[in-house]
Amino acid sequence: MKGKVIFLVDMQSFYASIEKADRPELKDKPVVVSGDPERRNGIILAACPVAKKYGVKTAEALWQALQKCPQAVVIKPRMQYYLDVSLAITDILERFTDLVEPYSVDEQFMDVTGSQRLFGDPLTIAKKVQKCIEKETGVYARVGIGPNKLLAKVACDNFAKKNETGIFWLTKENMKTHMWPLPVGKLFGVGSRMNRHLLLMGIHTIGGLANYPLDKLKKRWGINGHVLWMSANGIDYSPVRPDTFQTQKAIGHHMTLPRDYRRQESIKVVLLELCEEVCRRARQHHVMGHTVSVGARGADFDFPTGFHRQATMAYPTNNTADIFKTAWKLFLTFWDREPVRSLGVTLSQLCSDRTFQLNLFEDVEQKLRIGYVMDEIKNRFGPTAIVRASSLTDAGQAFERAKKLGGHSK
């Protein structure tokens, strides 16, 4: 067969499916995986197909889900276990091709162009992939097939998930009859804001966008307009890259706080902890950063407030004190003095920490060594083996965070 053959393999209700696979007695029961409601982060992370029949949706509040389905079995997430299963699925996919690119914890791209002589035609390979994943993990996978990543993603999200076989092949030939009639908001890369703009322009379907004059789209949105037009026409040249997550452009850490933080001193403690975590991860990758970004969101969800600002430092660093100094200055400058419910810190413009700019007024090398020694202590004895004194206050979240992965129970 000529041309590329790309799969997007998506795990159905991933977290919930793993829990049901581990507990067969839940097979026919509505299962939802949700955060801890007592800490105001009781959000539905996954709902099995049985729960979805009651109208339960991912990302809605747990109390809303229980109103729709009072008999739902609520399970707290086990994030480390889910990541382990995701890695096991990657290993399964790599039996079919060495070109596997994780897109998220429950979605992975595969380039099977060169695998067909060994494993059969694309539909045969897709069925084999489904069978292996279900047999070894108990998770049901859907497979979108296309000549590129874009069409594979559209095929999976809009057709494979609704197909009885869980497989759909979207080609340049059937694209006009299947993809073009879809609402323009279904196109990968079109968010809610862009969708509103396109609707106001009279563009309601993907086909309408594909046939809209390119020069007008470019005049309004520049290169982004060109990319939109290419996507609507099924054009995507991005390769499946196994090393996608090895070329990180930024390192960040965000936290939703367990309560409203009103006092400057309390916010300062959490911001310092976030800087500590970002720097630890930067050192883990042996990188430093030039730019620090700080984001904050207010406590009132009905009338959201907050900001996201950044500043570039004179020299790149992965030292907690240096990054916190910049982050705290940013926060004080843009904080509206209203209660804060979430905070985030990001380090970008990354470069290697193997070489660094010498400074006449401080020992940069010693700072680096201190950071790595602290990391080694935490790696050997646990993340709370050494903490800053401020983390022992009521405002500190280091000990609570150590129990979690990705903001949820390990």
Q: List binding-site positions for Mg(2+).
A: 10, 106
Residue 96 burial by CB count (10 A; 0-12/13-18/19+): exposed, middle or buried? buried
Provide φ and ψ at 351, rounded to 5°: -150, 165
Transcribe 232-250 into DSSP letters: HTT---PPP-TTGGGS-SE
- For the chain, first and last CA: distance in Å? 44
Annotated binding-site ranges: 10, 106
3-state SS, residue 45 = strand
One of 25, 38, 94, 107 is an active-site residue; which one?
107
| Radius of gyration of the CA atoms of the chain, in A | 24
How many DSSP H helices and E strands does the chain contain?
16, 14
From CA 177, how far away is CA 207, in angstroms rounded? 9
Mention every residue, 6+ apart, whose C-beta is less than 8 A from residue 334: 294, 296, 307, 309
Task: Taking each helix axis as running N to C, give the angle between helix 264-284 and helix 320-334, from 0 to 180 degrees, rounded to the nearest 10.
Answer: 140
Q: Which helix (H) or strand (E) segment is 216 a member of?
A: helix 214-221
From CA 29, how far away is CA 52, in angstroms rounded? 11
Q: Is the dihedral of CA 145, 147, 152, 155 positive or negative?
A: negative
**Is 107 part of the annotated catalytic residue set?**
yes
DSSP state of 238: P
Please answer whether residues 134 and 123 qualify as being in contact, where contact means their C-beta atoms are separated by less than 8 angstroms: no
Instruction: Give the HSE-up count for residue 386: Cα atoms under 13 Å, Cβ half-sphere.
Output: 15
3-state SS, residue 229 = helix
Question: Whats the size of the chain, residue-wise?
Answer: 410
Alpha-carbon separation of residue 148 from 97, 111, 116, 154, 235 (angstroms): 16, 9, 16, 10, 8
Alpha helices in 109-236 (DSSP H): 116-119, 122-137, 149-158, 175-178, 192-200, 206-210, 214-221, 223-232
Alpha-carbon separation of residue 303 from 61, 306, 318, 333 (angstroms): 18, 10, 35, 21
Residues acting as catalytic residues: 107
